[in-house]
Amino acid sequence: MGYTNKLLARQREVGRPVRIGLVGAGQMGSGFIAQIARQKGVDITAVADIAIDRAVSALANAGITDVDQSTDLETLAATIEAGGHVVVNDALTLPRLPIDMVIECSGVPEIAAKVALASLLGGKDVALMTVEADVTVGLLLSRIAAQTGNIYTVCRGDEPVECLKLVEYVEDIGLDVVLAGKGKNNPLNETATPSSLEAEAKAKGMNPRMLCSFVDGTKTMIEMAALANAADLQLTKRSMHGPAATVPTLQDIFKPIADGGILERSGVVDYATGPVAPGVFVVAKATDPVVHEELSYLKLGEGPYFAFYRPYHLASVEAVLSIGEVMIDRQSSLAPIAWNADVSTMAKRDLKAGEKIDGIGGEHVYGDAVPAAEAKAGRELPIGLASAGTLIRDVAKGTAVTYDDVQLDETKTIVILRKLQDALLADGQLQVPALSALLSV
C-alpha cells in the first residue's frame, strides 16, 4: 500500500487529514504548496511568508481562496480546527498552531535553523528544503528530534536524499557501496559571482544568487556533504574530484586506482560533470561470483563494479514523499547519522577587514566540501555561518575564511546551534553509535 492509501487510512482513523504548515511561498514553496494541495490525506493548512500577499497567492494558485489572515493565535487555531486555512507573516507562529508537521522552504539557513528548532521544541515534526542548514547544524537537530520524539528530516526531491535512497537500495540487495554521487550540469567556476551571471540568470528565469551557488560549486559541495553525513560515507578528498563522465562510464571512473579508476578507497562520495546531471548514482561492487554473473547477464555491465543510476530528481514535485515517510513510517528521509564532512567558506577574491560577508551565492565566498576533522583542525568557518560574519582581518583569494578572521553575530540561532553542536561533538555527546541508537527508537 502506497502513501496515498496509508494517508487516507490515517485520515479515516483520526478524522482529519495531516495538517501541514509551510514556511516560504517563493518558487520552491509555491510548487510544494501546489503538490500538497493535490495529495489525498494531507492538507496545506497554514503558510508563513514575510509577504502575506505571496502566501495568499500561492494558496489561491492551489485552489484555496478562503484564508484567515488574523494575527490572533486563538482565532487562527479555531480556523484550523474548523478545517480552514491560515496565512501568517512570522514563521515561528506555525509551531504554536494545531498542525502536525512544519515544512521549511525559505532557502535561508538562519531561518531554516530557527524554524527547525522552534518546531521540534514545539512538538512538531519538521522537514527542511534548505539543506544548507543541515550541513551546518543538522546533527544537533537530529539529536534534539530524537530526544523530543519528533522527526527531523531534509525533504525528498533533492540530489542528496534521492542518492541516499539509491545507497540504501544497493545495501539492501547485498552489494558493497564503493561511491555515491550526483551529476553537476555546468563546469565548476569557483570565482563566479551573481553579477557575472546576471545575463544568464535572466535568460533562465533564475535568481542570480541561486545560479551562482550552482556554478561556483557551493550547492554541489553542500549536497555531497549532506549525503556523506547521512549515509556515513567519506569525501573522496577535499573538494572531491568532479571528473567528466557519462552514465556508461561511471563504473569505470569511480572505482579503485588499483582497478583502473580514480578512487583511493571505497565508501566515499563525489560528483561528476557532464551528461550525468540531473541524475544521481551509486557505484557498487559485487563480491560474490554468482551475483556478479547475474548482474552481468542482466545487462548492468561487465563488473565487478556496477553503476546504479537514477536519471532525475524532481525537487518540490516529489518532496511530498517526505510527508508519508514522516507521518506514516515515522522516519527521516535524510538526516545526519555522522559528522564526516563540513562545507568551509572560501574567498572568491581578496577580502578586506571590515567587509560583511554576503554569504552563499554572493560576490565574496564559495563553499568547499572538507573532511570534518580537517575543517575543525583549521578552524574553518562553515559556509552556513558566512552571512553572519564580518571580517576582522584580510583573507587572500582562494584561502579558507576561519573563525579567527571574522566577528560572528552571536544572536543568530544558527551560530548558537553550531557552537553547541561543536561542543557536544568535542565532548563525545554526538557520537554515531549513540545517535544511531536514538534514531532507531
Q: Would you give per-residue pLDDT tens digits along the chain (441 residues)? A: 699 999 999 999 999 999 999 999 998 999 999 999 999 999 999 999 999 999 999 999 999 999 999 999 999 999 999 999 999 999 999 999 999 999 999 999 999 999 999 999 999 999 999 999 999 999 999 999 999 999 999 999 999 999 999 999 999 999 999 999 999 988 889 999 999 999 999 998 889 999 999 999 999 999 999 999 999 999 999 999 999 999 999 999 999 999 999 999 999 999 999 999 999 999 999 999 999 999 999 999 999 999 999 999 999 899 999 999 999 999 999 999 999 999 999 999 999 999 999 999 999 999 999 999 999 999 999 999 999 999 999 999 999 999 999 999 999 999 999 999 999 999 988 864 444 444 443
User: Which amino acid, 214?
Assistant: F
Distance CA 117, CA 137 (A): 10
Count CB neighbours of 119 within 10 A: 30
CATH number assigned to the domain with residue range 3-157+317-327, chosen from the 4 options 3.40.50.720, 3.40.50.1220, 3.40.50.300, 3.40.50.2300: 3.40.50.720
| Burial state string for 309-340 with b = 16 or more CB within 10 A and e = fewer than 16 | bbeebebbebbbbbbbbbbbeeebbbbbbbbb
User: For position 349, what pLDDT does the model report?
Assistant: 97
For 330, the grid coordinates are: 515515522
Sheet (strand 268-273) strand order: 234-235, 268-273, 176-184, 280-285, 305-310
Distance CA 375, CA 378 (A): 5
CATH top-level class for 341-409?
Answer: alpha beta
For the chain, the structural domain boundaries read 3-157+317-327, 159-313, 341-409
3-state secondary structure 244-307: ECCHHHHHHHCCEHHHCCCECCCCEEEEEECCCCCCEEEEEECCCHHHHHHHHHCCCCCCCEEE
Residue 71's Cβ-side half-sphere holds a number of Cα atoms within 13 Å equal to 3
Q: Where are the alpha helices (DSSP H) in 82-157?
A: 109-121, 131-148
User: For position 430, what pLDDT does the model report?
Assistant: 81
Using an 8 Å Cβ cutoff, are 154 and 161 in contact? yes
Using an 8 Å Cβ cutoff, are 179 and 270 in contact? yes
User: For position 185, what pLDDT does the model report?
Assistant: 86
Distance CA 28, CA 16 (A): 26
For 30, the grid coordinates are: 509555491
User: For position 431, what pLDDT does the model report?
Assistant: 65
Q: Is the pTM of this model over 0.85?
A: yes
User: For position 429, what pLDDT does the model report?
Assistant: 85
